[in-house]
Structure 1
Amino acid sequence: MAITPFQALACPLDNKALRRQGASWRCADGHCFDIASQGYTNLLPVQKKRSLDPGDSKEMVAARRRYLSAGHYAPIADAVSRAVLADHTAGQTLSGLDAGCGEGYYLRQLASAALREDRSLSLLGLDISKWAVQAAAKQDKQTAWVVGSNAALPVLPATVDCLLCMFGFPVYAEFARVLKPGGVLLQVDAGPDHLRELREVIYPTLKPARSEEAAAPAGFTRLSREIVSCRVDIAGAEQIADLLSMTPHLYRATAEGRARAAALTEISLTVDVLVSRFARMG
């Protein structure tokens, strides 16, 4: 079995199918998108950008790579891989999209798990940050990597079996459009106790946790909900800074809160996430 690049890409200018021609992707109308030397393709036209350099910066991507490579979120990756492969029919190739892939950690872990279980996957990683996609492409040549936006996925309709949204920005109408009927959306969100100890350092008070379970998004039915919880020990100011830089708390915290975090040399943290599986209706 093998991991192969996802092929059902769509032109971001006219939504027509893209075909690989040498080192480029072209649609029937002649729009051409070159494959960069690192192995990724930019499918985010300048007119659809909200800033000159959207998404995570080069420094944030490097911090995320260092933190995830240390294995602190391996239990999350394992739970995601199990959930994806549970929907995999032996002998078939499952197409997967990570919408907001960052530097590719979760897709790399999924690919490794699939190969261990002798499964075939066709994978696409997409992120709005060119620095994230560039880093992902440098580490993995078996997956297709593209710069793009969840608001307008450059993917043909009904071509994806499983879509991952990891701590990201879900656009459910787009997710439903690209998923096959019965396809699975696997969404990972922070739970009420996620990184509580760090939040207690950087914020004067914590907001009350939401107790109710959110309804399934429009166009989907809920399949399952799993809580992944564990403890991680972070040693060194550099690793703590890496963690903070890959969370929204970097921007939400005050200067005083960030200074308190920067003074830490070690911290024991709760990892608490919700892994929700939804099926595309219709």
Structure 2
Amino acid sequence: MSITPFQALACPLDGDPLQQSGTVWRCSAGHSFDIARQGYTHLLPVQNKRSRDPGDSKEMVAARQRFLNAGHYRPIAEALSRAVLAGLPADTTANCLDAGCGEGYYLRELAKATRDGQSLALLGLDISKWAVLCAAKQDKRASWVVGSNANLPVQPGTLDRLLCLFGFPVYSEFARVLKPGGLLLQVDAGPDHLRELREIIYPTLKPERTGDAQVPQGFTHLSTDTVRYPLELTGAQQIADLLSMTPHLYRANAEGRARVASLESLTVSVDVRVTHLVRDTVG
């Protein structure tokens, strides 16, 4: 097993390759980006920010860390790791990006699942500096960067695997940075995901979308797997942490949040889809 930092970073200002020299990344035009003492690099130019502090807050990241480190989503991580590692050649290092890595749980679990003879160069990227800071503190083997999926600071055609979990896919960028034949693994909520929580929050649930999602340009759909299981939460803290990880934290009204806050236990359905998309070799 070999886990190393991803090196093929690109300047977020001009797209030129970045070269590391000590604790600084530089491009040929002279743009430089310091590696923080905690081990991450900020590659999100201020002009690309939509707010002063985008992404998950420090409190939301802490809630996510508690929830994921408790193992509640380990079956998802295991399914994802199997998909990443399947078919990897044993004589080369595969480059893997988690686009929207949060506090790094899924890359840490992937590193644990890597076996002898397999080699991965890992990159975790998130728009939240608090998430990337948390990830860098927990694992020094990967490269961690603050950045945006809309402008990935990654050199073209350098990735073998790209992960996007419950996030915001930008398929044109994903296609740009993946090698031909590279694999995009996308994890999305299924129709019953956290249904019991949603039934408590909202008076009525929106009808589920019908029909198959379109395959994004530049990709071919290989398969879609389902990960489904009941999850029992005990204590108000676990329930609050789960809510903090979801968009329902902002969508729910005060009454809905209060109903959730009054709970001491809750069993919810975990229902997610793992979609395998391969980067076309032409186009």
TM-score normalised to structure 2 length: 0.98
* Aligned counterpart, 1:98: 98
1:208 aligns with 2:230: no
Matched residue type, 1:127: D
* Aligned counterpart, 1:24: 24
Structure 1 unaligned segments of length 5 or more: list them.
Answer: none
Cα deviations by residue, 1:39-98 (Å, 9 ceiling, x for unpaired)? 000000111111100000000000000000110000000000000111311222111000
SS for the counterpart of 1:213 is coil
Cα deviations by residue, 1:109-151 (Å, 9 ceiling, x for unpaired)? 001101x454110000000000000000000000000000000
- Equivalent residues in 2 for 1:55-74 (5 A)? 55-74=55-74
Matched residue type, 1:250: L
The two structures, once aligned, show a CA RMSD in angstroms of: 0.8
Runs of 4+ in structure 1 over 2 Å off = none
1:33 aligns with 2:33: yes
What is the CA-CA distance between 1:213 and the residue it aligns to? 1.9
**Residue correspondences, number:** 281
* Aligned counterpart, 1:108: 108
Matched residues in 2 for 1:78 and 1:216: separation?
A: 25
- Equivalent residues in 2 for 1:234-273 (5 A)? 234-273=233-272
Matched residues in 1 for 2:212 and 2:90: separation?
A: 33
Matched residue type, 2:166: F
What is the CA-CA distance between 1:210 and the residue it aligns to? 2.1
Matched residues in 1 for 2:262 and 2:116: separation?
A: 44
TM-score normalised to structure 1 length: 0.98
What is the CA-CA distance between 1:212 and the residue it aligns to? 1.8
Matched residues in 2 for 1:118 and 1:190: separation?
A: 33
Matched residues in 2 for 1:10 and 1:110: separation?
A: 24
What is the CA-CA distance between 1:103 and the residue it aligns to? 0.2
What is the CA-CA distance between 1:221 and the residue it aligns to? 0.4
* Aligned counterpart, 2:276: 277
Matched residues in 2 for 1:209 and 1:112: separation?
A: 36
* Aligned counterpart, 1:137: 136
Between 87-96 and 29-38, the greater mean CA deviation after superposition: 87-96
Matched residues in 1 for 2:207 and 2:76: separation?
A: 24
What is the CA-CA distance between 1:180 and the residue it aligns to? 0.4
Between 245-254 and 207-216, the greater mean CA deviation after superposition: 207-216
Matched residues in 2 for 1:19 and 1:70: separation?
A: 37
Matched residue type, 1:62: A
SS for the counterpart of 2:10 is coil
Matched residues in 2 for 1:273 and 1:222: separation?
A: 17
Matched residue type, 1:172: Y
* Aligned counterpart, 1:9: 9
SS for the counterpart of 2:176 is helix
What is the CA-CA distance between 1:216 and the residue it aligns to? 1.1
1:180 aligns with 2:179: yes
Matched residue type, 2:217: A
On the 8 A contact 2:91/2:117 being kept in 1, the answer is no
Matched residues in 2 for 1:268 and 1:206: separation?
A: 18
Cα deviations by residue, 1:11-62 (Å, 9 ceiling, x for unpaired)? 0011100000000100001111000010000000111111100000000000
Cα deviations by residue, 1:212-264 (Å, 9 ceiling, x for unpaired)? 22121111000110010011100000110010001000011111101100011
Matched residues in 2 for 1:90 and 1:29: separation?
A: 37
SS for the counterpart of 2:82 is helix
On the 8 A contact 2:99/2:126 being kept in 1, the answer is yes
Between 162-171 and 88-97, the greater mean CA deviation after superposition: 88-97
Structure 2 unaligned segments of length 5 or more: list them.
Answer: none
- Equivalent residues in 2 for 1:119-198 (5 A)? 119-198=118-197
